[in-house]
Amino acid sequence: MHPIAAEIIGTGLLILFGGGVVANVVLSRTKGHRSGWIVITWGWAMGVFVAVFTVGQFSGAHINPAVSVGLAAAGLFDWSLVLPYAAAQVLGGFLGASLVWIAYRDHFAASDDPLLKLAVFSTFPELRNPVSNVLTEAIATFALVFGVLYISDPGFVTAGGDFLEVVVIDGEEVGFGLGSLAALPVALLVLGIGLALGGPTGYAINPARDLGPRIAHALLPIPGKGPSDWRYAWVPVFAPLLGAVLAAGLFLVL
């Protein structure tokens, strides 16, 4: 599988599981209605697990522009590939969110609250304060990327071997990414972040996770939907990238 296709599919799987579990919990007349935050955090963690396990062997399973930027800032990924990866991830987020909408179409129609419909697609803060919201997302993404930098496998090379940045370690050419063996620890890392730091903003920690589905919310014919809250949309894009760069900086210092 081509790495760009893998990033589209992987991010799509992430959003299918993550957006799907939110829809199951918040939309009306579902089997999982009002089952709570623990269910949501586990659903997102399983989305990470499935995505990384499925496409890690082909692209490193970044499935998140913040991860791509963090690896590049740490010198472990080619900067020229960050933009193609990010574009693929946003597209995957859009496609995954569209599949969630198809699966839950009747339940979107049966639900009255536009804010809950938006919650299926994108994040928003419980207390709107741009400074606090940026700090929360940056801290949460710092934890994610810092963990990923130590979990990532220095023996990973994609099919073809020459698409990712090749790094020489002890005389051996290797690539960096999240291979299949990293699926469980990364999923548990995301679970922990959701439980510990997800309360204020819904822990986007991933620009593509928020932007791709937010675009889907804006474009899809969802009955009774409200605005897509574009005035907040910069926070889950900017803050995760900031947290990723800070995590890479500490990684390099250490």
Per-residue pLDDT tens digits of the chain, which is 254 residues long? 888 999 999 999 999 999 999 999 999 999 999 999 999 999 999 999 999 999 987 888 899 999 999 999 998 888 989 999 999 999 999 999 999 999 999 999 999 999 999 999 999 999 999 999 999 999 999 999 999 998 876 544 444 444 444 555 566 555 556 666 678 899 999 999 999 999 999 999 999 999 999 999 999 999 999 999 999 999 999 999 999 999 999 999 99
Dihedral pair phi/psi, residue 249, rounded to 5°: -60, -45
Domains of the chain: 3-253 (1.20.1080.10)
Cα–Cα distance measured from residue 113 to residue 23, given in angstroms and rounded to the nearest whole number: 12
Q: Which helix (H) or strand (E) holds 194?
A: helix 183-197
Total number of residues shown for the chain: 254
Residues 79, 50, 196, CA angle at the centre, nearest 5°? Answer: 80
pLDDT at 168: 53
pLDDT at 57: 79
Which string of b and e fits 133-160 if b means at least 16 CB within 10 Å? bbbbbbbbbbbbbbbbbebbbeebbbee
- In one-letter notation, the amino acid at residue 163 is F
pLDDT at 170: 61
Q: Which two structure tokens, joined as six digits, stand for 18?
A: 């993550």
User: Are 78 and 193 within 8 A, CB to CB?
Assistant: no
Q: Strands 153-156 and 167-169, how do they pair?
A: unpaired
Identify the bridge partners of residue 207 per DSSP, sorted by sequence position: none
- In one-letter notation, the amino acid at residue 143 is A
SS3 185: helix
